[in-house]
């Protein structure tokens, strides 16, 4: 039997094809599932019609040209403008509804004021669009569908339409005039026709968006009499649907329903952030799978699947559940594409920021690399608006005296590098035709060594970058073809005009979807894919009032008065009005809720606002009470006297009666404890007996103080000074306090960690990593930081307000430098773990070393882990500058001796992200805005050495000494020690030196 299935989207067509492939045990002939647009292109070509079909880029260029012809506010459009996109959408909707320019102008005359002016401009632009199509012999999307319908009526066939035994129309709520004609022509030739219409037949008023199509299908009496014709209308009371799901769907559709008895198969989840929402969704899917529901019978439906795909993929990967997202990376987000775009933008003169990014890029072959190029530009005084970066470097080198030979050489090498870059970019700035611009871009890719250097990366990265380069060059050729089709192939374009057209092509392009599991995987869908879909379980994401149902996009050109006037003039529903668009959004929301037959979960984020009333109404009918909000985080006890004082002050300002005497008493007790330590030490020395503050503590007394799970910091502290660890564990003395007016360094580090976690997490979640370092990224980082700052300020953790105002600007500048450094140092890896905790109450097991009674459990928190398919890189944030001690932490010789954080974090990261061949670690120094040279190694070799037996022996040795009570005052380093008042190590050393 030959099957032809028509579906609304290309993603739906690919998944239907995959399901048919698996159902037929790997045997599939032709393309059984397709869209109207894909089918139209084949039918037009088979009919002998030689008119080219404009693609999305060509239509966008034509829309900009039509806008310029209309004049007014549309007269200065460029293809990349947002208004050009709105004009393209409006003209496309008019063409799909087969509305002529004359009708638009006639309808405009029935209006007054601004509405009349807008509709007149739109009618003029539509007239220019029609003239170009007619004069150039072109077809747009609507014209191709109409030509395909005419060809199908003339019995023109393509392989998909030849001898169709069953024609299936699935997932459509409405069809345009040309689509209806094409469907009718195909149905008249098919052996049997089946239509699966997402329409609640028992509650037709709720699915008004599908009602016109349902009536048209029911009126095909002649077709039904000639051949097998089946129209399947879904219903809320379908017997295959669980009672609680049916009750929810009925209530959402406006019907009356009572909570059915029994355990509810519907649940509501309120999360406190994007990451928390994704983890909650993955947890629900894991629970259903444990109960016996196959993963491929679960659908996750999101109003913005492209933005949610990254974080959902990460959460499902952490839960060990395969997820098929079906979407490739946007082309504009690939690092090598951003580099090319920066290069094209800098061809007319590189700014300092562009010079830093391009001059430091590993993608460009510009001779020997120059270390610390940003610092050299800074010292040379390179400022935008004064002199170019090359001239500033030359001037700085010439101004150095006789003793500046080394720096002069560095400035000269940097100037030479940027000079070569300028020579490579110079041809790209000259005006030329679109075809010539595309050829120059291809020549630049080769002459700058971009293709060669991209191919030297790891296989996965090389494949991604080479594919992206190919897509960019294809986009440039597509712009040239579109210009030729529009009769502008010989026009000379400036670099800015050509870049505008290229940006249009790049914005609509993406890489092919990466290889991902399909059979046996949970599937991610958008609301547009939900109609007609069915599964055993469905999870709706983003069910807040602002996102569900998805709001209609703003319409700057074709607003509601103009839409009403057009429909009234034509006496038909030519374009969608606000009522019909609301009905369409409600219909998609109902279809999404109806996907799950047996189980349904709805999730939303508290920061997005309250739960959507439509969903809340359904939950009430299902007997499910939505939570008031996310579970609050437990409030911890004050960590220090300073924090206790501030908590008391906040409580007092809020109107409570508070006495800070407890906190002051704590300080007094601390002073007494320090005195007792010194008295105990002196008595032990006089008696010549071991004691805790004299090197050895009784194990029985110390056992309750030792941690059940050790941290890498505690292990490193014992390695630096055992007595320092003893004081922090066995005595409980407060650490060194801040000066009082400035922010505590630990609080400053926590503030930066929180801001970096939020900024990185949000960008990774929407597929915008790494940052470009541009103004938009800087503004986003500042917005995140200010929100974090506000929370710390309310908690009293920023010191004196007068001092904090100045300190805050320094912290913001540090964060901005870090954003620029991330853009500069991007290496293709993507953050996969942020503030990742293991052990403790994290829900993830600790690392365990040893066996039996000697086993040692280690917990910790990794600031960040970047990874790709082959390698991972642990990044530990340090709110400090580079130093000899910092660099020593990355020395493999120090692993298990003085450095425990790096090897432990590497072992934990390798456990969470298995299968990577290369492991690495580095320190991100926030004050310097740079990373130290990373430690890297082969995963197998590291597991057999520094991260395996050697690390285990070191950790077991340290803990064995601690359990035995051995805490001598033997310090490797006394810098930044909080316990100087009760330590006499330096004094003893001085006495011994004098005696010698």
List, for residues 910-941, the tens digit of each pLDDT value.
999 998 999 999 998 888 888 888 889 998 88
Largest CA distance in the chain: 116
Tokens, residue 750: 């926590």
Does 452 have pLDDT greater than 70?
yes
What's the confidence (pLDDT) of residue 908? Answer: 92
More confident residue, 66 or 634: 66
What's the confidence (pLDDT) of residue 688? Answer: 59
Average pLDDT, the chain: 83
Cα torsion 565, 568, 574, 575: sign? positive
Assess contact for 195 and 186: CB atoms under 8 A.
no
What's the confidence (pLDDT) of residue 814? Answer: 86
Degrees, nearest 5: CA angle 2-3-5: 160
pLDDT class of 653 with cuts at 50, 70, 90? very low
Q: What is the mean pLDDT of residues 500-522?
A: 82
Q: What is the mean pLDDT of residues 619-647?
A: 64
Q: State how far the alpha carbon of 51 is from the alpha carbons of 48, 147, 837, in Å.
A: 9, 10, 61
Closest CA to 61 of 40, 37, 77: 77
Does 6 have pLDDT greater than 90?
yes
More confident residue, 909 or 886: 909
Q: What is the pLDDT of residues 375-401, one digit of tens each?
A: 778 777 777 666 778 888 888 777 776
Tokens, residue 348: 């007319």
What's the confidence (pLDDT) of residue 129? Answer: 95
Q: Tell me which of 413-417, 547-551, 638-642, 795-799 is least confident.
A: 638-642
Does 733 have pLDDT greater than 60?
no
Q: Tell me which of 120-129, 223-232, 281-290 is least confident.
A: 223-232
At 128, is the secondary structure helix, strand, or coil? helix
For the CA atoms of 989, 990, 994, 996, what is the dihedral angle to 10 degrees?
20
Does 875 have pLDDT greater than 90?
yes
Q: What is the mean pLDDT of residues 38-48?
A: 92
The label of the residue with tokens 């055993």 reads 536
Assess contact for 683 and 952: CB atoms under 8 A.
no
Closest CA to 721 of 980, 348, 364: 980
What's the confidence (pLDDT) of residue 701? Answer: 62
Q: What is the mean pLDDT of residues 783-791?
A: 87
What's the confidence (pLDDT) of residue 286? Answer: 92
Q: What is the pLDDT of residues 552-568, one digit of tens each?
A: 888 888 999 999 999 99
What's the confidence (pLDDT) of residue 696? Answer: 60
Does 974 have pLDDT greater than 70?
no
d(CA 958, CA 416): 53
Assess contact for 499 and 345: CB atoms under 8 A.
yes
Closest CA to 795 of 752, 759, 743: 743
Degrees, nearest 5: CA angle 262-267-273: 165
What does the H/E/C string look like for 643-688?
A: HHHHHHHHHHHCCCCCCCHHHHHHHHHHHHHHHHHHHHHHHHHHHC
More confident residue, 891 or 476: 476
Assess contact for 8 and 528: CB atoms under 8 A.
yes
d(CA 500, CA 497): 5
Does 220 have pLDDT greater than 90?
no
What's the confidence (pLDDT) of residue 690? Answer: 57
What's the confidence (pLDDT) of residue 656? Answer: 44
pLDDT class of 996 with cuts at 50, 70, 90? very low
What's the confidence (pLDDT) of residue 634? Answer: 36
Does 958 have pLDDT greater than 60?
yes
What's the confidence (pLDDT) of residue 480? Answer: 95
d(CA 629, CA 632): 8
Q: What is the mean pLDDT of residues 696-717?
A: 78
pLDDT class of 654 with cuts at 50, 70, 90? very low
Q: What is the pLDDT of residues 821-835, one digit of tens each?
A: 888 888 889 999 999
Q: State how far the alpha carbon of 534 is from the alpha carbons of 313, 591, 597, 613, in Å.
A: 22, 9, 7, 24
Degrees, nearest 5: CA angle 600-605-611: 65
What's the confidence (pLDDT) of residue 218? Answer: 83
What's the confidence (pLDDT) of residue 409? Answer: 81
Q: What is the mean pLDDT of residues 734-747?
A: 61
Does 686 have pLDDT greater than 90?
no
Q: What is the mean pLDDT of residues 746-766?
A: 88
d(CA 505, CA 483): 12
d(CA 173, CA 179): 12
Q: What is the pLDDT of residues 322-374, one digit of tens each?
A: 999 888 888 888 889 998 988 888 887 878 788 888 888 888 888 777 777 77
Q: What is the pLDDT of residues 243-262, one digit of tens each?
A: 999 899 888 888 888 888 88
Q: What is the pLDDT of residues 99-135, one digit of tens each?
A: 999 999 999 999 999 999 999 999 999 999 999 999 9
Angle between helices 712-720 and 901-912 (to 10 degrees): 160
The segment with the largest mean pLDDT, out of 22-31, 297-306, 342-351, is: 297-306
Does 876 have pLDDT greater than 50?
yes
Q: What is the pLDDT of residues 135-150, one digit of tens each?
A: 999 999 999 999 999 9
Tokens, residue 898: 């003085």
At 825, is the secondary structure helix, strand, or coil? coil
What's the confidence (pLDDT) of residue 663? Answer: 41
What's the confidence (pLDDT) of residue 606? Answer: 87
What's the confidence (pLDDT) of residue 670? Answer: 57
Preceding omega of 816 cis (within 30 degrees of 0): no
Closest CA to 873 of 829, 908, 915, 834: 829
User: CB burial class (10 A; 0-12, 13-18, 19+) of residue 236?
Assistant: buried
% of the chain exceeding 90 in pLDDT: 33
User: CB burial class (10 A; 0-12, 13-18, 19+) of residue 523?
Assistant: buried
pTM of the prediction? Answer: 0.63
Residue 741 CB contacts under 8 Å (≥ 6 apart), including other chains: 799, 800, 803
What's the confidence (pLDDT) of residue 142? Answer: 94
% of the chain exceeding 70 in pLDDT: 84
Q: What is the pLDDT of residues 535-557, one digit of tens each?
A: 999 999 999 988 888 888 888 88
Pure H helices in 829-889:
884-888
What's the confidence (pLDDT) of residue 353? Answer: 81
């Amino acid at each position: 039997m030959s099957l032809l299935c028509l579906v609304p989207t290309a993603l739906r067509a690919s998944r239907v094809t995959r399901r048919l492939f698996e159902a037929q045990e790997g045997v599939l002939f032709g393309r059984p599932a397709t869209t109207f647009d894909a089918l139209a292109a084949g039918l037009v070509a088979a009919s002998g019609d030689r008119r080219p079909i404009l693609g999305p880029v060509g239509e966008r260029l034509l829309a900009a040209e039509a806008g310029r012809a209309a004049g007014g506010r549309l007269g200065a459009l460029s293809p990349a403008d947002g208004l050009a996109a709105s004009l393209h959408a409006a003209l496309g909707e008019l063409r799909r509804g087969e509305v002529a320019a004359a009708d638009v102008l006639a309808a405009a005359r029935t209006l007054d004021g601004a509405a009349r002016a807008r509709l007149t401009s739109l009618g003029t632009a539509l007239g220019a669009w029609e003239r170009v199509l007619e004069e150039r012999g072109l077809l747009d999307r609507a014209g191709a569908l109409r030509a395909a319908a005419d060809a199908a009526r003339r019995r023109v066939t393509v392989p998909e339409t030849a001898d169709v035994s069953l024609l299936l129309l699935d997932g459509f709520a409405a069809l345009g005039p040309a689509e209806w004609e094409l469907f009718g022509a195909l149905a008249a030739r098919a052996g049997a026709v089946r239509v699966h219409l997402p329409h609640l037949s028992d509650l037709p008023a709720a699915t008004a968006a599908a009602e016109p199509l349902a009536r048209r299908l029911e009126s095909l009496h002649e077709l039904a009499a000639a051949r097998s014709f089946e129209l399947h209308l879904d219903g809320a009371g379908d017997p295959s649907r669980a009672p609680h799901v049916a009750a929810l769907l009925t209530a959402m559709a406006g019907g009356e329903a009572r909570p059915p008895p029994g355990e509810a198969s519907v649940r509501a989840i309120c999360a406190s952030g994007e990451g928390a929402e994704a983890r909650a969704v993955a947890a629900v899917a894991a629970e259903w799978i444990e109960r016996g529901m196959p993963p491929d019978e679960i659908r996750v439906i999101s109003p913005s699947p492209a933005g949610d795909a990254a974080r959902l993929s990460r959460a499902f990967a952490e839960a060990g559940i395969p997820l098929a997202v079906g979407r490739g990376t946007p082309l504009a987000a690939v690092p090598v594409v951003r580099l090319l775009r920066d290069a094209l933008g800098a061809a007319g003169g590189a700014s300092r920021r562009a010079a830093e990014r391009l001059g430091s890029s590993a993608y460009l072959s510009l001779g020997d690399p120059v270390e610390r190029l940003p610092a050299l530009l800074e010292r040379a005084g390179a400022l935008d608006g004064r002199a170019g970066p090359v001239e500033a470097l030359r001037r700085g080198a010439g101004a150095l005296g006789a003793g500046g030979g080394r720096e002069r050489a560095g400035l000269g090498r940097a100037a030479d590098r940027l000079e070569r870059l300028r020579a490579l970019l110079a041809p790209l700035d000259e005006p030329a035709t679109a075809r010539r611009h595309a050829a120059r871009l291809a020549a630049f890719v080769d002459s700058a060594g971009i293709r060669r250097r991209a191919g030297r990366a790891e296989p996965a990265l090389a494949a991604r970058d080479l594919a992206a380069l190919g897509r960019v060059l294809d986009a440039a050729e597509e712009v040239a073809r579109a210009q030729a089709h529009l009769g502008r192939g010989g026009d000379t374009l400036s670099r800015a005009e050509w870049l505008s057209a290229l940006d249009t092509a790049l914005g609509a392009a993406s890489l092919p979807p990466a290889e991902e599991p399909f059979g046996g995987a949970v599937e991610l869908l958008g609301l547009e894919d939900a109609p007609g879909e069915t599964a055993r379980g469905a999870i709706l994401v983003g069910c807040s009032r602002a996102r569900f149902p998805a709001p209609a996009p703003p319409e700057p050109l074709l607003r509601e008065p103009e839409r009403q006037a057009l429909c009234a003039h034509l006496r038909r529903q030519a374009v969608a009005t606000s009522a019909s668009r609301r009905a369409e959004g409600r219909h998609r929301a109902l279809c999404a809720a109806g996907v799950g037959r047996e189980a349904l979960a709805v999730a939303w984020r508290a920061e997005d606002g309250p739960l959507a009333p439509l969903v809340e109404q359904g939950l009430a009918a299902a007997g499910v009470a939505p939570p008031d909000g996310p579970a609050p985080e437990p409030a911890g006890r004050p960590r220090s006297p300073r924090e206790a004082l501030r908590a008391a002050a906040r409580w007092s300002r809020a109107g409570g009666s508070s006495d800070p005497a407890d906190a002051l008493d704590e300080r007094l007790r601390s002073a007494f404890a320090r005195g007792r330590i010194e008295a105990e030490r002196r008595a032990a020395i006089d008696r010549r007996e071991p004691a805790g503050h004299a090197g050895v503590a009784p194990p029985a007394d110390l056992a309750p103080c030792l941690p059940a799970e050790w941290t890498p910091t505690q292990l490193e502290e014992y390695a630096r000074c055992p007595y320092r660890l003893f004081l922090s564990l066995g005595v409980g003395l407060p650490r060194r306090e801040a000066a009082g007016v400035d922010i505590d360094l630990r609080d400053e580090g926590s503030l930066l960690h929180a801001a970096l976690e939020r900024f990185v997490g949000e960008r990774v979640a929407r597929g915008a990593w790494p940052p470009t370092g541009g103004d938009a990224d800087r503004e986003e980082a500042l917005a995140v930081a200010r929100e974090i700052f506000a929370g710390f300020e309310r908690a009293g953790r920023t010191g004196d307000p007068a001092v904090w105002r100045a300190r805050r600007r320094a912290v913001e500048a540090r964060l901005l430098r870090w954003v620029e450094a991330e853009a500069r140092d991007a290496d293709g890896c993507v953050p996969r773990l942020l503030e990742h905790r293991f052990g403790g109450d994290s829900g993830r097991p600790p690392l365990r070393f040893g066996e039996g009674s000697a086993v040692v459990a280690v917990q910790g928190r990794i600031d960040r882990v970047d990874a790709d398919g082959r390698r991972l890189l642990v990044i530990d944030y340090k709110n400090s500058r580079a130093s000899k001690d910092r660099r020593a932490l990355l020395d493999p010789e120090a692993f298990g001796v003085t450095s425990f954080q790096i090897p432990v974090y590497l072992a934990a990261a390798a456990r969470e992200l298995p299968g990577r061949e290369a492991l690495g670690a580095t320190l991100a120094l926030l004050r310097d805005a740079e990373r130290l040279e990373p430690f890297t190694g082969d995963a197998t070799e590291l597991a057999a050495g520094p991260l395996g037996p050697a690390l285990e022996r070191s950790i077991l040795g340290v803990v064995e000494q601690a359990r035995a009570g051995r805490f001598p005052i033997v310090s490797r380093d006394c810098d930044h020690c909080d316990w100087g008042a009760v330590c006499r190590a330096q004094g003893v050393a001085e006495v011994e030196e004098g005696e010698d």
